[in-house]
Structure 1
Amino acid sequence: MKGIYSALLASFDEQGKINEQGVREIVRHNIDKMMVDGLYVGGSTGENFMLSTEEKKQIFEIAKDEAGSEVKLIAQVGSINVYESIDLAKHATALGYDAISAVTPFYYKFSFEEIKDYYNMIIDSVDNRLIIYSIPFLTGVDMSVEQFGELFENPKIIGVKFTAADFFLLERMRKAYPDKLIFAGFDEMMLSAAVLDVDGAIGSTFNVNGPRARQIYELAKAGKIEEAREIQHTTNDLIAAILDNGLYPTIKCILEEQGVHAGCCRKPMASATPEARIRAREIYKQYIK
């Protein structure tokens, strides 16, 4: 399960409906051109939290049908509705996903015991493995080393997607749980996470910057920090330009420049304006082509 995973984008038409061919093309692009080890399907990058349960299932089905067993697949099934999460976990497991993942329950101020119950309910409902999706800046849920340890007491909870800038916590977790998988979740901080011996990374910009992500990870693992740092500098120049122009719309425009029908964003998220499309083309030519 280790390595470089793209947080898979989803493709929608102008009416907000899933563009199946576009999703298939994004999957193929990631496998054939970005050379990733796996796909993280149904996460924030896939605009998951704006989709119905049936639409989430459809994305899982398309991605699995297109990828087959070529790469590892992780299905993000987390939801504020734990019964939807269980339904999605069963669906992804039946499809043959290698693992499931679940974001911490958000919006309400859930206690840690409630969060722990949520994770155990999901993973105990299926014969699969679960990776916690920790993204405190969006969910408002911070957990301690000890609390992660309590979750890891369930042997089916095998790791965490760590999307946070708290590298002290990351280091403490790596030392405390050497046998658990830790995936870095911030593309722009990948080198720092790799130095702390994470097991891989899951990123949205890997859809267009996968080869550099792998270089950073492998160079850091080999102790070639100066070389990795130079590639991280270039990567962060790219990321800064993408963020300034609109994260998901710009990545989709860059994919369109490469012949991939990445489509529109799902409302209420705005798609790229004509000006943003021009800027995305410039970013593509400067940093990727």
Structure 2
Amino acid sequence: MFLKEQLMKKLYSALMTAFNEDNTVDLQGVRAMVRYNIDVNHIDGLYVGGSTGEAFMLNTVEKKAIFKTVIEEANGAIDLIAQVGSLNLEEAKELAQYVTDLGYKTISAVTPFYYNFSFAQIKHYYNEIVKDVDNQLIIYSIPALTGVSLSIDQFAELFENPKIIGIKYTNADFYLLERVRNRFPDKLILSGFDEMLLPALALNVDGAIGSTYNLNAKRAKAEMVAFDAGDIQKARDLQQVSNDLITDLIQNDIYPSLKLVLQELGVPAGFCKEPMSHPNPDMIAGAKAIYTKYLK
């Protein structure tokens, strides 16, 4: 089990899923991205099965295959967090048990979305996911995509369950972040917006999870070191470059572009799953320019 101090100021890549051109999962590509994160990025951990992994477009069999492949390839070298959340509560519970049996020490679950669930229903969802598994859970809060904004008192109610240990906080409400950090000093808070890493560090988060760390981990780690050393100007300069990179990725279609830039780095990251875009010549040229400008 993770202790809070073990996660302090650690950096996690939100792992992508490689797909073949026919939309099937490319497990060899998944292995290659795990290896790159370990061997080149020297990442502290991977968040597996989240938004970046296109997990909400996958069936249960595909999710299980990815979870199994990742833990085999990582082989204990880094921390792993398995995102098992689903609109199908039975699937979420099944995946929670599956990854626990595989050896994942921490699970995570997105807030249930689309149906405007009441907080009582959301609380029931989280308690059910962890009820029958010997594991600990991090709430995945991403209101911009789920439409679910939890209040500080609602987080407090969820934390009444001792198996719920923290939050993947992908929320631009930094007033709420400060309030949550102040009220729950012993809970894990992992920042989920790469472009806001520096202000999140200023609010004393315990680490960060993000898509662009698959490419940009070295720069993000250098920013964390600079911040801890009190060199705020250096941290600002590094965040500015990171945000320039993020802006260029977004303008070039971020998910396929992340994979295209990894291809430039020699990592067979594959395609995105439709209806996400497959690369066109302009996108490929844009990704090459991003690689040359920021990573070569």
Match of 1:220 in 2: 227
The amino acid of 1:234's aligned partner reads V
Structure 1: 5+ residue stretches without partners: none
Structure 2: 5+ residue stretches without partners: none
* C-alpha separation in 2, matches of 1:142 and 1:222: 34
Shift, 1:218, TM fit: 2.5
* C-alpha separation in 2, matches of 1:141 and 1:217: 29
* C-alpha separation in 1, matches of 2:279 and 2:11: 27
Aligned residues: 289
The amino acid of 1:41's aligned partner reads V
Match of 1:67 in 2: 74
Alignment of 1:140-155 (within 5 A): 140-155=147-162
Q: Are 1:197 and 1:221, in contact at CA under 8 Å, matched by a contact in 2?
A: no
Shift, 1:213, TM fit: 1.3
Q: Are 1:200 and 1:217, in contact at CA under 8 Å, matched by a contact in 2?
A: no
* C-alpha separation in 1, matches of 2:180 and 2:229: 22
Match of 1:53 in 2: 60
Query: Identity rate of aligned residues, in percent?
Result: 56
2:91 to 84, 88, 92: 84
Match of 1:190 in 2: 197
The amino acid of 1:67's aligned partner reads A
Match of 1:126 in 2: 133
3-state SS of paired residue (1:133): strand
Shift, 1:259, TM fit: 1.0
3-state SS of paired residue (2:250): helix
The amino acid of 2:251's aligned partner reads D
The amino acid of 2:191's aligned partner reads A
TM-score (norm 1): 0.99
2:51 to 35, 44, 54: 44
* C-alpha separation in 2, matches of 1:68 and 1:13: 25
* C-alpha separation in 1, matches of 2:187 and 2:87: 25
Q: How big is each residue's C-alpha offset from its partner over 1:63-115, in whole Å with a ceiling of 9 and x where there is no partner?
A: 00100100000000000111100000011101111200000000001000100
Alignment of 1:1-289 (within 5 A): 1=2, 2=7, 3-289=10-296
Shift, 1:275, TM fit: 1.1
The amino acid of 2:228's aligned partner reads K
* C-alpha separation in 2, matches of 1:169 and 1:217: 22
The amino acid of 2:180's aligned partner reads M
Q: Are 1:5 and 1:206, in contact at CA under 8 Å, matched by a contact in 2?
A: yes
3-state SS of paired residue (2:52): helix
Compute the RMSD of aligned alpha carbons. 0.8
3-state SS of paired residue (1:120): helix
The amino acid of 1:195's aligned partner reads A
TM-score (norm 2): 0.96
